[in-house]
Amino acid sequence: MVLLEIRNLSKRFGTLVAVQNVNLAIPAGEIFGLLGPNGAGKTTTVSIVCGLLSPTEGDVIVDGHSVLRESMAVRRQVGVVPQELALYGALSGRENLVFFGRMQEIPARLLPGRVDAVLNIVQLTDRQNDRVDTYSGGMKRRLNVAIGLLNQPKLLILDEPTVGVDPQSRNSILETLRELNRQGMTMLYTSHYMEEVEFLCSHIAILDHGRVIADGSQEELQRRAGGRDIVSVQLADEADEALRTRLTALPGVESVELRDHAVRIATASGHALLAPLVAALADDGRGVTSLEVKEPNLEDLFLSLTGTSLRD
């Protein structure tokens, strides 16, 4: 069952085309990643899904409701975690949750329990009565996520929810989201952090200049990236042509590059090559200081599709 469907979506600001003919379908229960560099159109797309912006063309359907015609019905189905820390610093964490819970029309008899539950999920129960402006950056990020969870949404929209947080808080947020997904929550997750999208998302769409340039499952996209693993070896001594000849003869090796003490081998399967490679180096009496297998990733795909890095 498709929970979120984006149909022929375009958004123009004057002459600037922010989103151009985007089509996506997100099944219920998935974490769908929108990956792209800053300015690719991710935030504009999710702003239209949230009802904050009106599309120039196209429509968004959430659980059967059109964002154009049934905006309020759509808003009742979604929870939003914005990129910005949209919190009231002068209020406590609990007061923030109660306020936004009221805005989300959570019945008064249910609200205290919901607040307790999300505080527990983001591990802020012990600081719930402190003013938010006394929170650390990571705690604020967690509270930002908690507000999005209050109405137990069918679809949780997260727009770069980990920007500027420390690794520990980032891991905590990502693990929380994964657990919520395991419990059945569908998520639309935008980020320009490739690692986060790879960690969380089963399906991914890559946006660039407002257009979807690739989409599919993570495996499909990785295959499109070229399908070659790179094995990098750092030797104790300088590499020579005799070594190149020996390594090129190993099964599955497509190419070997040498530079000083470094050897870079392209192969269909890096892990399959490891055993014969180590044996060959030992047999040849070569000392090894490091060895690394790098699988193709979304960064490589983005690079191959656009010629630029995701972080550019």
Residue choice 52, 117, 278, 279 for contact with another protein (CB under 8 A): 52
Q: Please report how close the Cβ of residue 123 comes to another protein at its closest, in angstroms.
A: 22
The piece of 76-84, 206-214, 240-248, 278-286 that touches another protein (CB under 8 A) is 76-84
Residue 186 engages another protein in binding (rule: CB under 8 A): no
Residues 115-154 that bind another protein (CB under 8 A): 131, 147
Residue 211 engages another protein in binding (rule: CB under 8 A): no
The piece of 20-28, 89-97, 217-225, 266-274 that touches another protein (CB under 8 A) is 89-97
230 close to 265: Cβ distance less than 8 angstroms: yes
Q: Please report how close the Cβ of residue 87 comes to another protein at its closest, in angstroms.
A: 7
Residue 82 engages another protein in binding (rule: CB under 8 A): yes
Provide DSSP, the chain. -EEEEEEEEEEEETTEEEEEEEEEEEETT-EEEEE--TTSSHHHHHHHHHTSS--SEEEEEETTEETTT-HHHHHHHEEEE-SS----TTSBHHHHHHHHHHHTT--TTTHHHHHHHHHHHTT-GGGTTSBGGGS-HHHHHHHHHHHHHTT--SEEEEESTTTT--HHHHHHHHHHHHHHHHTT-EEEEEES-HHHHHHH-SEEEEEETTEEEEEEEHHHHHHHTTS-EEEEEEESS---HHHHHHHHTSTTEEEEEEETTEEEEEES-HHHHHHHHHHHHHHTT--EEEEEEE---HHHHHHHHHSS-TT-
Whole-angstrom distance, CA of residue 47 vs CA of residue 106 = 22
Residue choice 36, 51, 55, 161 for contact with another protein (CB under 8 A): 51
Residue 72 engages another protein in binding (rule: CB under 8 A): yes
Size of the site for another protein (CB under 8 A): 25
Residue 99 engages another protein in binding (rule: CB under 8 A): yes
Residue choice 78, 165, 194, 263 for contact with another protein (CB under 8 A): 78
Q: Please report how close the Cβ of residue 92 comes to another protein at its closest, in angstroms.
A: 10
Residue 87 engages another protein in binding (rule: CB under 8 A): yes
Strands of the sheet containing 155-159, edge to edge, are 78-81, 155-159, 186-191, 31-35, 203-208, 211-217
The piece of 10-18, 72-80, 116-124, 292-300 that touches another protein (CB under 8 A) is 72-80
Whole-angstrom distance, CA of residue 19 vs CA of residue 208 = 9
Residue choice 11, 97, 100, 207 for contact with another protein (CB under 8 A): 100
Q: 55 or 296, CB closer to another protein?
A: 55
The piece of 31-39, 95-103, 233-241, 281-289 that touches another protein (CB under 8 A) is 95-103
The piece of 25-33, 71-79, 163-171, 191-199 that touches another protein (CB under 8 A) is 71-79
List contacts with another protein (CB under 8 A): 50-52, 72, 75-76, 78, 80, 82, 84-88, 90-91, 95, 99-100, 102-105, 131, 147
